[in-house]
Amino acid sequence: MTTKGNDRGQECPRYTRRRTFAGGAPTLHKTFMQYTKDSFYMTLLERLVALNPNQTVTLNGTTRPAIIVAENELVVPIEPLPDAFYLEWGAAQPVPRQTGSRVLLAMDCVISYHTFGTVESGVDRGRTLAALDMELLSMCEPPFTSKRDYTQVPSVDLGTNIFWSEPVFGKVAGSEASRNEGLPRGTEGVRLERSVSLKVFFNPEANLP
């Protein structure tokens, strides 16, 4: 996997168009999923830049908007960066009890983030986490976008939309959480963290076998 610039001045992952299983059959399902993953990621990234252009991280020597897709990054033994949104994807599954000629698929997405606050004492980390909550809510509205092929420059509209469910916010973990969920007390600057889950829905570009 490499990165490639798109028509909007940002970078998104570039993937080979055709992959194979051990038996030689193309993994078309992965291609369908990747268009959706890239479109969702780029939409959140562009909305974050519009909301707060200063919300950035430096990763692998590059400063960029603070949205990170875990599966696209180099595997390195470091802690996740604070004040950044990490996206993790589940497998695609058909939506049950559907009608129509085209299959509707859904993928689980978990977005996690944490903060130590903006001052050394960490006394504002609750307010900082709340600000991250509000940024994520704003990025998720409206809950749809066009599906695009970002392996091409400029990116190509694939003619369908993806849409997603309302975000479900998990409990805060950290020094202010309940005892079973909290990190050890007595440490200055202990982080607060949250995970948010949603489902992203999409149609494949062809009927699945």
pLDDT, tens digit, 9 for 90 and up, residues 11-58: 554 333 333 323 333 344 566 789 999 999 999 999 999 999 999 999
165: phi then psi, degrees, rounded to nearest 5: -80, 170
Q: Which pLDDT band, with edges at 50, 70 and 90, does 6 fall under? A: low
Mean of pLDDT values over 166-190: 63
Please indicate, yes or no, if residue 183 is contained in any of the structural domains: yes
Q: What is the largest CA-CA distance in the chain?
A: 59
Q: What is the mean pLDDT of residues 156-180?
A: 82
| Residue 208 placed within a domain | no
Residue 62 lies in a domain: yes
Q: Would you state the structure tokens that stand for residue 180, as one six-digit string?
A: 């079973």
29 burial via Cβ count (<10 Å: 0-12, 13-18, 19+): middle
Query: Is pLDDT above 80 for 2?
Result: no
Residue 151 placed within a domain: yes
Residue 167 lies in a domain: yes
Query: What DSSP designation does 20 have?
Result: B
| Residue 66, token pair as written in the block | 């603070």
Say if 207 falls within a structural domain.
Answer: no
Instruction: Give tens-digit pLDDT for 131-151.
Output: 999 999 999 999 999 999 999
Contact 59/74 with Cβ under 8 angstroms?
A: no
Tell me whether residue 147 is in a domain. Answer: yes
How far is 144 from 40, CA to CA, in rounded Å?
9
For residue 209, being part of any structural domain is answered with: no
- pLDDT tens digit sequence for 69-123: 988 887 654 678 999 999 999 999 999 987 777 889 999 999 999 998 888 777 8
Q: What is the pLDDT of residue 14?
A: 39
Average of per-residue pLDDT across 176-185 = 42
Q: Is the peptide bond before 154 cis (omega within 30 degrees of 0)?
A: yes
Token pair recorded at residue 25? 């059959």
Flag whether pLDDT at 156 surpasses 70: yes
8 A C-beta contact, residue 140 and residue 198: yes
Q: Which residue range forms the structural domain that includes residue 113? A: 2-202
pLDDT at 126 over 80: yes
pTM for this prediction: 0.79
Q: How many domains does the chain have?
A: 1
